[in-house]
Amino acid sequence: MKRLVKKSVPCSLYDIGGLQEQLDGMALQGLFLVDFSARLDRVSLCREEPRPVRYRLDPCGKGRRKDKEREEAYAQMGWRFVTRTHGSFYIFSCDDPETPELYNDPQSLSVALEKQVDRETRSIVCLTFGLTLFLSALFYWARRNILQHLLLWDDPAYLASFILSFSLILVSLLAMALQLWARYRLIKALAQ
C-alpha cells in the first residue's frame, strides 16, 4: 500500500517552470504527485522508489471533450495524466527522458495561457460588475438608514462593519487583480 505525504506547494502555481522543476526534484527523492488541495496550497504525494520523472503543466481548455482529446493525444506521445489543479492546469508526467515535450517553444505555451487568462479576466470583470451592482442596489434601498448611521455616527458598530465590509471587498478584488497581473507577466515572459 502506498503511503501519502502532504506538503505545502513548493512555489507559486504561476511559476510553471519552477513548479515543474520542484516536482521533478521531488520524484528524484521518491515523492510523486497525486493531487493538489482545493485551495492549491498543498500537494498530496505518494512515496515510492526514487526515479527520474518529468512533470509538465498544461493550461486547461474550454471544453471537457477537447481536453479529453488532448489527453489522449498526449498519452500517445507518452505522457500520463496525473491530476488537475481545479480549473487552471492539467498536470502530466512521463518517465522516459526521450518523450517529446508538450510544448516545443515558450510561445506556444503563452498562446495556450492567453486563452485561460482571457477567460479568468472575463469572470473577474463579471464578478466585479455583479458585486458593484449588488452594492449599489443595497445602498439605494437602504440609503436613509445607511446615511443616518454613517453621517451621524450614532452606532459605531454599524460604521465599523460597513467600513470592514467595503475593505474586504476591495482587498479581494485587489488580490484577484494581482493574480491576473502575475499571469499576464508570465505570458509576456514566455512570449519573449
Q: pLDDT by residue (tens digit) across 98-116?
A: 888 877 666 666 666 666 6
Task: Give the confidence band of 16 by pLDDT, cuts at 50, 70, 90.
Answer: confident
87-98 burial by CB neighbour count: b if 16+ within 10 A, else e? Answer: ebbbbbbbeeee
Name the amino acid, one letter, at 185: R
What is the DSSP pairing of strand 4-8 with strand 80-84? unpaired
Determine the Cα angle at 23 with ends 21 and 27, to 5°. 115
Per-residue pLDDT tens for 121-158? 777 778 878 877 887 787 777 666 666 666 666 667 76
Residue keyed to cell 492549491: 40
Three cell numbers written together for 120: 479568468
Burial of 27 (0-12, 13-18, 19+ CB in 10 A): buried
Q: Which of 13, 2, 90 is nearest to 46 (CA)?
A: 2
CB 81 within 8 A of CB 94: no
Task: Count how many Cα atoms sit within 13 Å of the Cα of residue 45 in the half-sphere of its side chain.
Answer: 23
Provide the pLDDT for residue 135: 75
Higher per-residue pLDDT: 176 or 29:
29
Q: Each residue of 152-192: pLDDT tens digit? A: 666 677 667 777 877 887 887 787 778 777 777 766 776 66
What is the pTM assigned to this prediction? 0.61
Task: Give the pairing type, strands 89-94 and 80-84.
Answer: antiparallel
Does the pLDDT at position 1 exceed 60? no
Do residues 33 and 91 lie in contact, with contact meaning Cβ atoms separated by under 8 Å?
A: yes
SS3 86: coil
Least Cα distance to 71 among 45, 92, 101 occurs for 92
